[in-house]
Each structure stands twice: as C-alpha cells, then as structure tokens.
Structure 1
C-alpha cells in the first residue's frame, strides 16, 4: 500500500495521531531457540539491526520488530491465556499509546533512532508452539510492525515514539 498524498483528506487523517507512543519493553533474541533477553536499552545500527539480536545483519526491512502493548491482552484472550509476556512473542520493542499500523511507510523516532515502518510483522509458525493450538491465528492482525533503521543510535525503556514529518 502506498500512502495517499499528504494534502488529501485521507492523507491528513492517516498522518494524525492523538499522542506520542512510549517504549514499554525491549528484548533481544540472542540465537534461534534461545529465550529473549529483556534489556533496558538497545543499540540500533543502520543496515545491521539491533546489536546482540540474532537478526542483526539480516534484511534491512526487518531491522527492528515492534508490537503494540494494547494488543498483548487481545493475543492472550484469543489464545486462551490470562496474559502473555512480550518475550514469548519474540518482538524487539513493545510500544504503547499509538497504533503501530499508522507507522507503516512512515519514518518515526525512538530515542536517538530513526526508523521507517516497512511492513506488518506477521506471526511465524513458532507461535503455535509458544501459545498453543491456534496461537498463530491468535496473533494474525496483532503481530506488530517491522521497521528498517534509517539512523542508528540507542533506544531506551520509556522513550517516546514520535512520527517524523
């Protein structure tokens, strides 16, 4: 999907967010099959990814994966759990306060880091094992956003998530 022109009514609506978001959780995947490591901050490197994450050096379109905090209870309910911890879902950053899908094809800042939303972060087949039968489908539409790193730096817990013009 290509964004509508910014001077159109739809373009203006899609560019307007009620407030900034906030980083609630950060995690790194050290290696395939290993538990996520919760961290207070992470260094993002342009063209590389998050240092210490197993996907660093892979596809630039997926340098950072984000998931919306408000979707965690939805995923839990749809998968039959009382709650779901962020590490179980294997996304790097949990953001609250703004709809992540609105950041697709847009540049945004977290701390020192400038990111660009590239695509929805669809669930993988591992969610069936992590969440139980139906876990893959429980995450469909709630998997978050993939982003490429435009300008590297450090992102931290509590950082604001703001859209750039």
Structure 2
C-alpha cells in the first residue's frame, strides 16, 4: 500500500520534472545566479541524477558516496540532459515497482569512506526526504533559473504567469 502511494507520486512528479527539463533552452545552460551556484546545465543534470539514486536507496542500507560513480554524460545540450533523465527515471520506476515494502522501515544511511553524511534513518523517510523532496527543492530552483533567463515556466500544479487563462 505504501509502495502504491509512492509510485503514484513518483509517476506524477516525474512528468512534472520532464516538463520543466523540456522547457530549458540550450541558450540558458551556462547561466548561473552567482559564482556559488551551479549553472542551469549542472542543476538540471543533478535533478536527473537524483533518479539514479533509487537503486542505492531502495536496495541497500548504506549508500557510500566514496565509491559512487555517475556518468552525467554531455550536458552541453538540454536534449542530452533530458535523455539522461529518461534513462534514469525508467530505472528508478523499475526499482520502486520491484521494491519490498518490508524493507521500508530498515535504517538507511549515507557515508563517505566510513564517515556518516546522513545518519541512520528509516528508509521510507529517506525516500520521501532524500529522493522526493530533494528533487522538488531543486526543481524550484530551476524555475527561478528559467524565469531569470527570460524563459517560460510550465505549469506543474496549475497555471503559471505565462499561461493565459
């Protein structure tokens, strides 16, 4: 039952993520709001990468970032980032669909070479916070990036200022 609720949200929000990634023009990829921020391409790539973490979260109790490797591919074109998203979201959906609800209360942690980065926490809480909410946070940032570069923002939860009602 929990899995079905997570899957429903996952599918709905993956479509929202797809829409915002499709809204990124190549001309905005190098823009960033400050020297401390990622570029639009880096932020969009990170959003796509979060879907790559499902395997490590659902099927392991420890995610060791010290050995984790991810090939983000060529992020110089928005279409490439979208293609990587599609690849990752397909895999993430399969992981979620095949997950065992009996493990959702297992403690999960993230570490790097033995140093704890994310303390032991029930897996279902990590799924909601580390995977889902983390993604939504970065999508919100991407909305600001799009607006700041003069681009339209798709309506994910209803009309936006760009929509004529």
Asked whether the two chains share a fold, i.e. TM above 0.5, the reply is no
Question: Whose helix proportion is higher, 1 or 2?
Answer: 2
**TM-score, normalised to structure 2's length?**
0.25
**TM-score, normalised to structure 1's length?**
0.25
- Looking at CA atoms only, which structure, 1 or 2, has the larger radius of gyration? 2
Question: Whose strand proportion is higher, 1 or 2?
Answer: 1
